Amino acid sequence: MMFCMLRIFPLAIIFFLILCPSFAKNFPESKQEKFETSFRPLVKVEGLPDYSTVSERMSFYHTPGMSIAVIHDGRIVWAKGYGVLQTGRKSAVNESTVFEAASISKPVTTIAAMMLVQKNLLDLDSGIYRWLHNWHAPRSEVSQIPPTIRQIMSHTAGFNVESVSGYSSQNLPGLRDIMNGVGGAKTPALRVIWKPGEAFHYSGGGLDVLQQIINDVGSSSFENQVSEMLFKPLQMTHSTFYQPPIPNLAKNEAKGHQWNGSLMTGYLYPEMAAAGLRTTPSDLAKIILEIQRAIEGKGHVLSPKSAEEILTLQNASAPIGLGFFLSGKGAGKRFFHDGWNNGFTCRMVGFVGQKDGAVVMTNSDSGGLMFEALDAIARAYNWPDQNWKQLEAKQIPEGIINRFPGKYEWGPGLQADIIKLNSRLFLQLTRTESEEMEPFPPTELFAKSVHDFFSAMPFMNFRFNLNKAQEVEAMEREEDGKQIRMPRLISQNLNSNKSIH
């Protein structure tokens, strides 16, 4: 399960494109310049520059477009777009360009549900079947006690479906068909397979249930309710859960791209609460500001009690509140969430003790640029408790690198492809049991020695094992303190773009 996070944290290959910075507003010039010229690579490879510009890193990660909003002292101090909506086109990303928010849909849905709690239309701690009128999960074999809305929001409800992958056709299955695993659904039927409240198990499927609850208790559809009660009061004028998005937003919508820069098929997400939000960094920054203001009793839609619930640790098994993950202490305490959809990555982060934060959205499923951008923002604005240490790697001779490409057995239902591109190694997980789900974007492997490598996102150690003939017979990965052997299945020269999904 650990390597499923590769969907959020892939690295990319070098590809040269033109950077098109566009509209910006009210930003301190010195901080903007510092941000745009001080990108640090996630991994410092010997012989390569220590710092780069935003344009250089966008080229490196083959990311056509990026949009950013920065919060400082309780206001959005600047918002700016970089690059283009689609590779090969001239339309520039600007402050109003709409991106897919992916899993950031989850905390936004959580806030909408908290507003229904404030109106006494829901409560956090009653069993969910009190609110569900049009769907009921099959009887659970692990617990007779139904999960609660609080547990759905904190991913402790025990539902089985971890993530959703979207649909390329506009002939979408209905939400209840997806929950029942029928009618063209890509995911299995929803089940409670872990005891509710016992431990953290990330579940996009749980948000399907919350979406159905909001449908059932409200007077209109989920997407309409969220628009009316949340987006309009906060003036989030470029946000929508509608699938497909409403026409006026679709005109300035970024298109998704693979990690190597190729255009992806557009996807729609009937699992709106889990992954269907389309929005801008400026609109998401208004969510951050609303939580920060609500803490002080100055929120427009959230009460202080709701804000406190959102920011309270819910389970000892994971650093999560309601909808948001939590990190840091004292002045460095923050709430955040990442998003990964096919062709998009994003993160929003806000501080609890001070009114700072940022949102970064990209139209590539290469996540490295997003983290480097947040690091550059953090250093430009002196964010507290930023202890990220840059990793270091060596350069390895071409002849040695040529030994490693091939296919390796990862585990049940998964295969690891080791791919060589431009004298660099990448690992891509592919599913062997489901052709409908998209493959994981590759992550780069960095060398510690001629046989020892590591990945940065997530951090994992790998070793290539040789037989007596000095041929690679297996890889090993370090996971939870154990060495897991990955036999080599096929020795293959995977060294072209055609080998990469």
Distance of CA 374 to the CA centre of its chain: 14
Question: Span 82-94, mean pLDDT?
Answer: 96
Of the pLDDT bands very low, low, confident and very high (cuts 50, 70, 90), residue 5 is very low
**Cβ-Cβ contacts under 8 Å for 145 (sequence gap 6 or more):** 127, 196
Beta bridge partners of 286: none
Whether residue 418 sits in one domain with residue 295? no
User: Is residue 98 classed exposed, middle or buried when 0-12, 13-18 and 19+ CB atoms within 10 A define those classes?
Assistant: buried
Record the pTM: 0.87
Beta strands 391-393 and 43-45, pairing class: parallel
Please name the residue that has the structure tokens 């006494």: 120
In angstroms, the CA 82 to CA 59 distance is 12
Q: How many CA atoms lie within 13 A of 295 on its CB side?
A: 16
CA pair distance 335, 333, nearest whole angstrom = 7
In order, the DSSP letters of 427-470 are: EEEEESS-SSSPPPPPEEEEESSSSEEEEETTEEEEEEEE-TTS
Residue 2: DSSP 8-state: G
- Are 398 and 277 members of one domain? no
* Structural domain includes residue 72: no
31 vs 50, more confident: 31
Could you identify the residue written with the tokens 């220590």? 50
- Residue 230's nearest CA partner among 127, 85, 111 is 111
In a shared domain, residues 197 and 282: yes
Task: Please say if the pLDDT value at position 168 is more than 70.
Answer: yes
Domain membership flag for residue 27:
no
What sign has the CA pseudo-torsion 63, 67, 69, 70?
positive
- Determine contact, residues 111/101, Cβ cutoff 8 Å: no
**Same domain, yes or no, for 211 and 337?**
yes
Mean pLDDT of the chain: 88
Q: What is the CATH number of the domain that holds 456?
A: 2.40.128.50
Is the pLDDT at 366 greater than 80, yes or no?
yes
Report whether pLDDT(30) > 90: no
Q: Does residue 365 sit in the same domain as residue 420?
A: no
Whether 161 and 305 share a structural domain: yes
Number of domains in the chain: 2
DSSP single-letter state for residue 302: -
User: Is 412 found in the same domain as 350?
Assistant: no
Is-contact 11 62, C-beta < 8 A? Answer: no
User: Which residues span the domain enclosing 283?
Assistant: 100-380
Q: Which residues pair with 341 in a beta bridge?
A: 344
User: 13 CB contacts (<8 Å, ≥6 apart)?
Assistant: 62, 259, 260, 421, 422, 424, 426
Whether the pLDDT of residue 478 is over 90: the answer is: yes
Distance CA 70, CA 376 (A): 11
| C-alpha span between 397 and 165 (Å, rounded) | 38
Q: What is the CA radius of gyration of the chain?
A: 22
416 and 277 fall within a common domain: no
Element (H, E) at 292: helix 281-295
pLDDT in tens, 98-148: 999 999 999 999 999 999 999 999 999 999 999 999 998 777 878 889 999
pLDDT in tens, 293-341: 999 999 999 999 999 999 999 999 999 999 999 999 888 999 999 999 9
Which residue is it, tokens 């959102």?
A: 310
Is the preceding omega at residue 397 within 30 degrees of 0, hence cis? no
Q: CB neighbours of 298 closer than 8 A, spacing ≥ 6?
A: none
State yes or no: pLDDT of 2 exceeds 50: no
User: Is residue 214, in this structure, part of any structural domain at all?
Assistant: yes
For strands 344-351 and 357-362, give the pairing: antiparallel
